[in-house]
Chain A
Amino acid sequence: NAGVMQNPRHLVRRRGQEARLRCSPMKGHSHVYWYRQLPEEGLKFMVYLQKENIIDESGMPKERFSAEFPKEGPSILRIQQVVRGDSAAYFCASSPSGGRAFFGQGTRLTVV
Protein backbone atom coordinates (compact mmCIF):
# COMPACT_ATOMS: atom_id res chain seq x y z
CA ASN A 1 0.00 0.00 0.00
CA ALA A 2 1.70 3.13 -1.17
CA GLY A 3 1.98 6.03 1.21
CA VAL A 4 0.87 9.58 0.66
CA MET A 5 2.40 10.79 -2.58
CA GLN A 6 3.25 14.42 -3.14
CA ASN A 7 4.66 15.95 -6.26
CA PRO A 8 6.73 17.64 -7.21
CA ARG A 9 9.24 17.22 -4.38
CA HIS A 10 10.89 20.49 -5.29
CA LEU A 11 9.35 23.42 -7.14
CA VAL A 12 10.98 26.68 -8.15
CA ARG A 13 8.79 29.56 -9.23
CA ARG A 14 9.50 33.18 -10.08
CA ARG A 15 7.59 35.87 -8.26
CA GLY A 16 4.15 36.28 -9.81
CA GLN A 17 3.89 32.76 -11.20
CA GLU A 18 1.46 30.09 -10.07
CA ALA A 19 2.43 27.05 -8.02
CA ARG A 20 0.43 23.82 -8.10
CA LEU A 21 1.12 21.19 -5.48
CA ARG A 22 -0.39 17.73 -5.78
CA CYS A 23 -1.23 15.18 -3.15
CA SER A 24 -2.47 11.64 -3.69
CA PRO A 25 -3.77 10.23 -0.41
CA MET A 26 -3.28 6.66 0.74
CA LYS A 27 -5.70 4.17 -0.74
CA GLY A 28 -9.01 4.26 1.08
CA HIS A 29 -8.36 7.63 2.71
CA SER A 30 -10.94 10.31 2.01
CA HIS A 31 -9.62 13.01 4.38
CA VAL A 32 -6.79 15.29 3.34
CA TYR A 33 -4.96 17.98 5.32
CA TRP A 34 -2.45 20.53 4.06
CA TYR A 35 0.22 22.00 6.31
CA ARG A 36 3.00 24.52 5.78
CA GLN A 37 6.37 24.43 7.48
CA LEU A 38 8.63 27.46 7.42
CA PRO A 39 12.33 27.18 8.23
CA GLU A 40 12.87 26.88 11.98
CA GLU A 41 9.12 26.91 12.56
CA GLY A 42 6.55 24.26 13.28
CA LEU A 43 3.87 22.77 11.10
CA LYS A 44 0.96 25.14 10.58
CA PHE A 45 -2.49 23.98 9.51
CA MET A 46 -3.83 25.36 6.26
CA VAL A 47 -6.89 23.40 5.12
CA TYR A 48 -8.86 20.21 5.68
CA LEU A 49 -10.77 18.61 2.83
CA GLN A 50 -12.90 15.60 2.19
CA LYS A 51 -13.84 14.42 -1.26
CA GLU A 52 -15.29 17.39 -3.15
CA ASN A 53 -15.68 19.43 0.05
CA ILE A 54 -13.62 21.96 1.95
CA ILE A 55 -14.32 21.26 5.61
CA ASP A 56 -12.05 23.80 7.30
CA GLU A 57 -9.90 26.42 5.58
CA SER A 58 -9.29 28.57 8.64
CA GLY A 59 -5.51 28.35 8.24
CA MET A 60 -5.41 29.33 4.61
CA PRO A 61 -4.53 32.89 3.59
CA LYS A 62 -7.63 34.58 2.18
CA GLU A 63 -5.98 35.64 -1.04
CA ARG A 64 -3.98 33.75 -3.66
CA PHE A 65 -4.34 30.33 -1.97
CA SER A 66 -6.93 27.71 -2.86
CA ALA A 67 -7.33 23.98 -2.42
CA GLU A 68 -9.48 21.27 -3.89
CA PHE A 69 -9.99 17.54 -3.55
CA PRO A 70 -12.02 16.37 -6.53
CA LYS A 71 -14.01 13.16 -6.75
CA GLU A 72 -11.33 11.73 -8.99
CA GLY A 73 -7.65 12.55 -8.84
CA PRO A 74 -5.30 14.13 -6.34
CA SER A 75 -5.85 17.02 -4.01
CA ILE A 76 -4.38 20.26 -5.34
CA LEU A 77 -3.04 23.23 -3.40
CA ARG A 78 -2.79 26.22 -5.69
CA ILE A 79 -0.87 29.39 -4.96
CA GLN A 80 -1.36 32.23 -7.40
CA GLN A 81 1.06 35.10 -7.93
CA VAL A 82 3.65 33.64 -5.59
CA VAL A 83 5.80 35.91 -3.45
CA ARG A 84 9.09 35.20 -1.68
CA GLY A 85 7.26 34.71 1.62
CA ASP A 86 5.49 31.68 0.16
CA SER A 87 8.79 29.78 0.11
CA ALA A 88 8.30 26.86 2.47
CA ALA A 89 7.76 23.13 2.70
CA TYR A 90 4.16 22.16 2.09
CA PHE A 91 2.99 18.85 3.50
CA CYS A 92 -0.11 16.89 2.78
CA ALA A 93 -1.53 14.28 5.14
CA SER A 94 -4.30 11.78 4.62
CA SER A 95 -6.54 9.97 7.06
CA PRO A 96 -9.23 7.32 6.77
CA SER A 97 -11.53 9.13 9.16
CA GLY A 98 -9.76 12.00 10.86
CA GLY A 99 -7.66 11.73 14.01
CA ARG A 100 -4.82 9.63 12.63
CA ALA A 101 -2.90 11.11 9.74
CA PHE A 102 -0.06 9.98 7.53
CA PHE A 103 2.12 12.60 5.92
CA GLY A 104 3.72 12.75 2.52
CA GLN A 105 7.32 13.76 1.92
CA GLY A 106 6.35 17.30 1.13
CA THR A 107 6.89 19.78 -1.67
CA ARG A 108 9.60 22.35 -1.14
CA LEU A 109 8.62 25.55 -2.85
CA THR A 110 11.26 28.15 -3.58
CA VAL A 111 10.22 31.51 -4.98
CA VAL A 112 12.99 33.42 -6.71
Chain B
Amino acid sequence: TQLLEQSPQFLSIQEGENLTVYCNSSSVFSSLQWYRQEPGEGPVLLVTVVTGGEVKKLKRLTFQFGDARKDSSLHITAAQPGDTGLYLCAGYTGNQFYFGTGTSLTVIP
Protein backbone atom coordinates (compact mmCIF):
# COMPACT_ATOMS: atom_id res chain seq x y z
CA THR B 1 0.00 0.00 0.00
CA GLN B 2 1.36 3.36 -1.00
CA LEU B 3 1.23 5.72 1.94
CA LEU B 4 1.38 9.48 1.72
CA GLU B 5 2.10 11.29 4.94
CA GLN B 6 1.36 14.96 5.24
CA SER B 7 2.79 17.34 7.78
CA PRO B 8 1.79 19.18 9.73
CA GLN B 9 -1.59 17.62 10.39
CA PHE B 10 -2.98 20.86 11.81
CA LEU B 11 -1.78 24.40 11.25
CA SER B 12 -3.17 27.63 12.66
CA ILE B 13 -1.53 30.88 11.56
CA GLN B 14 -2.18 34.60 11.42
CA GLU B 15 -3.23 36.31 8.23
CA GLY B 16 -0.20 37.43 6.26
CA GLU B 17 2.13 34.65 7.40
CA ASN B 18 3.77 32.14 5.08
CA LEU B 19 3.49 28.39 5.44
CA THR B 20 4.64 25.14 3.88
CA VAL B 21 2.84 21.80 3.85
CA TYR B 22 4.75 18.61 3.10
CA CYS B 23 3.63 15.39 1.46
CA ASN B 24 6.05 12.46 1.73
CA SER B 25 6.10 8.89 0.56
CA SER B 26 8.51 6.05 -0.06
CA SER B 27 6.70 5.28 -3.31
CA VAL B 28 7.20 6.78 -6.74
CA PHE B 29 4.17 8.33 -8.41
CA SER B 30 3.53 9.11 -12.05
CA SER B 31 1.79 12.31 -11.01
CA LEU B 32 0.80 14.11 -7.87
CA GLN B 33 -2.24 16.22 -7.23
CA TRP B 34 -3.05 18.80 -4.55
CA TYR B 35 -6.67 19.33 -3.55
CA ARG B 36 -8.48 21.58 -1.10
CA GLN B 37 -11.61 20.33 0.58
CA GLU B 38 -14.19 22.36 2.49
CA PRO B 39 -16.52 20.74 5.04
CA GLY B 40 -19.39 18.98 3.31
CA GLU B 41 -17.89 19.42 -0.14
CA GLY B 42 -15.78 17.41 -2.52
CA PRO B 43 -12.04 17.93 -3.03
CA VAL B 44 -11.26 20.72 -5.49
CA LEU B 45 -8.22 20.17 -7.70
CA LEU B 46 -5.57 22.86 -7.28
CA VAL B 47 -2.71 21.50 -9.36
CA THR B 48 -1.20 18.42 -10.99
CA VAL B 49 2.57 17.95 -11.16
CA VAL B 50 4.09 15.28 -13.35
CA THR B 51 7.83 15.82 -13.81
CA GLY B 52 10.39 15.33 -11.05
CA GLY B 53 11.58 18.72 -9.82
CA GLU B 54 8.62 20.50 -11.38
CA VAL B 55 7.48 23.75 -9.78
CA LYS B 56 4.07 25.26 -10.43
CA LYS B 57 2.69 28.54 -9.16
CA LEU B 58 -0.95 29.42 -8.69
CA LYS B 59 -1.16 33.02 -7.45
CA ARG B 60 0.16 32.84 -3.85
CA LEU B 61 0.51 29.05 -3.92
CA THR B 62 3.70 27.32 -5.05
CA PHE B 63 3.79 23.57 -5.59
CA GLN B 64 6.90 21.47 -6.01
CA PHE B 65 7.31 17.83 -7.00
CA GLY B 66 10.40 16.12 -5.63
CA ASP B 67 13.17 15.08 -8.01
CA ALA B 68 12.46 11.40 -7.32
CA ARG B 69 8.68 11.91 -7.64
CA LYS B 70 8.11 10.61 -4.12
CA ASP B 71 7.31 13.82 -2.31
CA SER B 72 5.83 17.24 -2.79
CA SER B 73 5.37 20.54 -1.00
CA LEU B 74 2.84 23.32 -1.04
CA HIS B 75 3.95 26.79 -0.01
CA ILE B 76 1.46 29.59 0.62
CA THR B 77 2.68 33.17 0.74
CA ALA B 78 0.83 35.79 2.77
CA ALA B 79 -1.97 33.48 3.83
CA GLN B 80 -5.51 34.84 3.86
CA PRO B 81 -8.61 33.65 5.74
CA GLY B 82 -9.98 32.36 2.43
CA ASP B 83 -7.12 29.83 2.37
CA THR B 84 -8.65 28.04 5.35
CA GLY B 85 -9.47 24.44 4.53
CA LEU B 86 -8.23 20.87 4.36
CA TYR B 87 -5.34 20.39 1.95
CA LEU B 88 -4.87 16.93 0.49
CA CYS B 89 -2.11 15.54 -1.65
CA ALA B 90 -2.81 12.53 -3.86
CA GLY B 91 -0.27 10.46 -5.73
CA TYR B 92 -1.32 8.58 -8.84
CA THR B 93 0.12 5.23 -9.74
CA GLY B 94 -1.31 2.07 -11.20
CA ASN B 95 -5.02 2.57 -11.31
CA GLN B 96 -5.72 4.81 -8.37
CA PHE B 97 -5.00 7.96 -6.46
CA TYR B 98 -3.50 7.45 -3.02
CA PHE B 99 -4.50 10.25 -0.70
CA GLY B 100 -2.45 11.79 2.04
CA THR B 101 -3.60 12.17 5.60
CA GLY B 102 -4.47 15.84 5.08
CA THR B 103 -3.42 19.17 6.56
CA SER B 104 -6.12 21.26 8.20
CA LEU B 105 -5.21 24.92 7.80
CA THR B 106 -6.83 27.77 9.72
CA VAL B 107 -5.89 31.33 8.87
CA ILE B 108 -6.89 33.77 11.59
CA PRO B 109 -7.83 37.30 10.49
Contact = CB atoms under 8 A, between A and B. Distances in A.
A39 to B, nearest CB: 11
A45 B97 contact: yes
A55 B96 CA distance: 10
B42 A91 contact: yes
Nearest to A6: B42
B94 interface: yes
Contacts, number: 60
Contact of B98 (A45, A98, A99): A45
B interface bracket (residues with beta carbon within 8 Å of A): 20 to 34
B88 A56 contact: no
A62 interface: no
- The A contact surface, by secondary structure, is strand
A112 interface: no
Contact of B92 (A6, A43, A44, A99): A99
Interface string B7-44: 00000000000000000000000110101000011111
Interface in A1-43: 4, 6, 33, 35, 42-43
Interface centre among A4, A43, A59, by most chain B C-beta atoms within 10 angstroms, is: A43
Interface of B: 30-31, 33, 35, 40-45, 48, 50, 88, 90, 92, 94-102
Given A33-B97, A43-B99, A101-B92, 16 more contacts: A6-B42, A35-B99, A42-B102, A43-B43, A43-B88, A43-B97, A44-B99, A45-B96, A45-B97, A99-B92, A100-B31, A101-B33, A102-B45, A103-B45, A106-B41, A108-B40
Task: Give the top 9 A-B pairs by smallest Cβ distance, nearest first.
Answer: A56-B95, A103-B42, A43-B99, A45-B96, A105-B42, A99-B31, A100-B48, A48-B95, A103-B43
Interface of A: 4, 6, 33, 35, 42-45, 48, 55-56, 58-59, 91, 93, 98-106, 108
